[in-house]
Structure 1
Amino acid sequence: MNNPTLTQYLLNQLAEHPEQKDLVLMMSELAVIGKIISQQTNKAGLTTITHSTNTTNVQGEDVKELDVIANDLCKNYLQQTGHFAAMASEEEETVVDMSKENPNASYIIAFDPLDGVSNINVNIAVGTIFSIYKKRKELPAGDEQQFLRKGSEQVIAGYIMYSTSTTLVFSFGNGVHEFTLDQGTGEFFLSREYITIPDTCKNYSVNQTYTKHYTERDNTFIAYLRDDIEASDRYVGSLIADIHRNLIQGGVFMYFANDTKEKGVYKPKLRMVYEAQPISFLVQQAGGTSTDGQINLLEKVPKSLHERTSLVTGNRKEIEQY
């Protein structure tokens, strides 16, 4: 195999950009987490890790054993790296302050330890999503305000997708790169460099079950994608799987707020800090764009740690029609 390993690639990056030393080290640590979680997900059908713990998280969602395993792994491992002063997890109600353990840390990290875990017992792709910012020196490390900032301020964003292969996709703000885990050697190898969303919007991804609960504007946009440009309806229902396909093939992913109770109140679902911001960062780096319907999501500042948002992301030309 002639493709460089992640380590080789990052060392080359470091030689060209010495100022990215911290980013290179953090990315190496995140890759280790991906390898460990990959091993756990590969056992999903043989153990009880996909079973419910009979508890709910701060989001009000059923917690699986694998949720707990992935969250604890991320939390414990990241604390030991020394890079992070604080972390925020979709599974944790408040910020985890790690400044006592890591007094010299200059970064904070937000993550969804295992997005889409409800799909894993039917062997659908799931993923770890991560977002890293520079720590604000004027604020205590554990202050929630550390994480309430524009997505454009991210220094690293990415995801690790656990599917037929384990794939690491990330950006330092200078392009999007994909690495695939070779299970035989235990190494990530470069599989795509400088990913660019194709000009043609081949797919659209939306849960059309809720069509009657979307706004007229949302349904008009779906009709435009389906009828006017004749994009194919491709919706897995696993955020990372849908986003990854559209990054590679071209497409628009939509998760609108919906009024399922038909009371005129439209409620979004996706988490701003843990899902929408890092995904939007990657999409923009690949030439696309993202919106909540009103504003570019990289320019939107969340008001709370677990704030939810609508997300329309993918091909720029099509989203400008929304």
Structure 2
Amino acid sequence: MSHASSADQASPGTLESVMTLEQFILDRRERFPQSTGAFSRLLRDVSVAAKIINHNIRRAGILDVVGETGTVNVQDERQKKLDEIADRELERALRRGGECCLIGSEEQPDTIPLSPQGNFQERFAVFFDPLDGSSNTDVNASVGTIFSVYTLPEDVDEKASLDVTLRPGSEQVAAGYVAYGSSTMFVFTTGNGVNGFTLDPGIGEFLLTHPNLQIPEARAMYSINEADIEDFSPELRSFLKWLKTKDPETGHRIRARYIGSFVSDFHRNLLTGGLYMYPATVDHPKGKLRLMYEANPMAFLVEQAGGQASTGHQRILDLHPDNLHQRTPLFIGSSPLVEAAEAYLQGREEDIPDLP
């Protein structure tokens, strides 16, 4: 019996009713020959790092791993101890695994070659935000890890590696995130749908719990830091006013939920339907989220789940990056809500779609 059929036929709520992440990857390798052994091991390496990061987060209130390191990272942000731990564990897992030749991290100023003298045996480059929302760790709130995977051309060398990896998000071969909350979930796509795996701490395995995720179109939640509303454009303020208007037929309105961790807000909206916004502001005219390791991987994932991601004027996955830490405005989530945001921001209120 195949993995898929056994998962379908076993009774719910038992370990036999789900498959592990490694079993799932092996199953996909059988059905998608382009998924090489090296690529499968790369995803395994990311999942191993996620387990170690999760272990440290779970002990944050006991060990001395909360608070700041006393240094400022390349983003001019005060680095948290768990930022440093997560960054180190991801680099260590990818370096040890040997399937990755280049990494780029929010916590590092430049990309880091993992093969000496450009002698790359494998062709994968991984970009990541090791611990998104890390300021939440000091107050025991949810955080996450985001990752993006590209392949490198055969003729790339160490010096040219960054230039050739600065490509549109549409060329990603895999992307995903890990949400560390009441449970720990590993959610990813390889361009064939989105699947979510929940960590069972008893056996130390990620188990398939959310197969074939699709983001609902119904209006449910919107997420934005409205403390910055005075810095928003008039068009965006008009859009927010429209969002808060009750449906005249049902009396319902979309609700605001903002955790302050991109992964956590996105994950909730992926499951319930909704819109996450981090727009351009007076202080951040180019937006604040980073394109290569925050916006691009989530945009790839949400499109695979039936949603959309936009700057408000352009599809995120069509952007051509010019540096590792490039920033971008971001509107991401259920398609009707993203389209409505674009209509307002572009002065096309007459094109607002009917919301489910």
Same fold, TM exceeding 0.5?
A: yes
Specify which of 298, 302, 307 is matched with residue 317 of structure 2.
298
Q: CA–CA distance in 2 between the matches of 1:169 and 1:121?
A: 24
Q: CA–CA distance in 1 between the matches of 2:201 and 2:52?
A: 11
Aligned residue for 2:126? 109
Q: CA–CA distance in 2 between the matches of 1:235 and 1:118?
A: 14
Q: CA–CA distance in 2 between the matches of 1:161 and 1:235?
A: 15
In the alignment, is the contact (CA less than 8 A) between 2:42 and 2:100 conserved in 1?
A: no
In the alignment, is the contact (CA less than 8 A) between 1:250 and 1:315 conserved in 2?
A: yes
Q: CA–CA distance in 2 between the matches of 1:289 and 1:149?
A: 19
Aligned residue for 2:169? 151
Q: CA–CA distance in 2 between the matches of 1:267 and 1:71?
A: 25
Structure 2 residue ranges without an equivalent (≥5):
1-14, 248-252, 342-356
Q: Would you identify which runs of 4 or more consecutive aligned residues in structure 1 move more than 4 Å?
A: none
Q: CA–CA distance in 1 between the matches of 2:224 and 2:28?
A: 37
Aligned residue for 1:197? 215
Aligned residue for 1:162? 180
Counterpart AA for 1:93: P
In the alignment, is the contact (CA less than 8 A) between 2:42 and 2:94 conserved in 1?
A: no
In the alignment, is the contact (CA less than 8 A) between 2:48 and 2:93 conserved in 1?
A: no
Q: CA–CA distance in 2 between the matches of 1:13 and 1:97?
A: 29
Match of 2:282, SS?
A: coil
Match of 2:296, SS?
A: helix
Identity of aligned residues (%): 38
Aligned residue for 1:275? 294
Match of 1:158, SS?
A: strand
Aligned pair 1:11/2:11, yes or no? no
Match of 1:79, SS?
A: helix
In the alignment, is the contact (CA less than 8 A) between 2:214 and 2:306 conserved in 1?
A: yes
In the alignment, is the contact (CA less than 8 A) between 1:157 and 1:281 conserved in 2?
A: yes
Aligned residue for 1:177? 195
Aligned residue for 2:243? 225
Deviations along 1:77-126, whole A, 9 cap, x unmatched? Answer: 21121111111000010110123286211110100111111101111111
Would you say how many aligned residue pairs link Structure 1 and Structure 2?
A: 318
Specify which of 277, 281, 289 is matched with residue 258 of structure 1.
281
In the alignment, is the contact (CA less than 8 A) between 1:84 and 1:106 conserved in 2?
A: yes
Structure 1 residue ranges without an equivalent (≥5):
none
Match of 1:67, SS?
A: helix
Q: CA–CA distance in 2 between the matches of 1:119 and 1:154?
A: 29
Match of 2:41, SS?
A: helix
Aligned pair 1:120/2:137, yes or no? yes
What does residue range 228-243 of structure 1 map to in structure 2 within 5 Å?
230-243=253-266
Shift of 1:267: 4.4
Q: CA–CA distance in 1 between the matches of 2:158 and 2:200?
A: 37
Q: CA–CA distance in 2 between the matches of 1:317 and 1:136?
A: 37
User: What TM-score comes out, normalization by structure 2 length?
Assistant: 0.86
Specify which of 100, 104, 107 is matched with residue 88 of structure 1.
104
Q: CA–CA distance in 2 between the matches of 1:245 and 1:17?
A: 30
Counterpart AA for 1:105: E
Q: CA–CA distance in 2 between the matches of 1:120 and 1:132?
A: 26
In the alignment, is the contact (CA less than 8 A) between 2:71 and 2:78 conserved in 1?
A: yes
Q: CA–CA distance in 2 between the matches of 1:19 and 1:266?
A: 41
Aligned residue for 2:338? 319
Match of 1:223, SS?
A: helix
Counterpart AA for 1:48: D
In the alignment, is the contact (CA less than 8 A) between 1:49 and 1:66 conserved in 2?
A: yes
Q: CA–CA distance in 2 between the matches of 1:103 and 1:137?
A: 9
Larger-Rg structure: 2
Aligned residue for 2:91? 75
1:107–1:220 Cα change, 3 Å: same
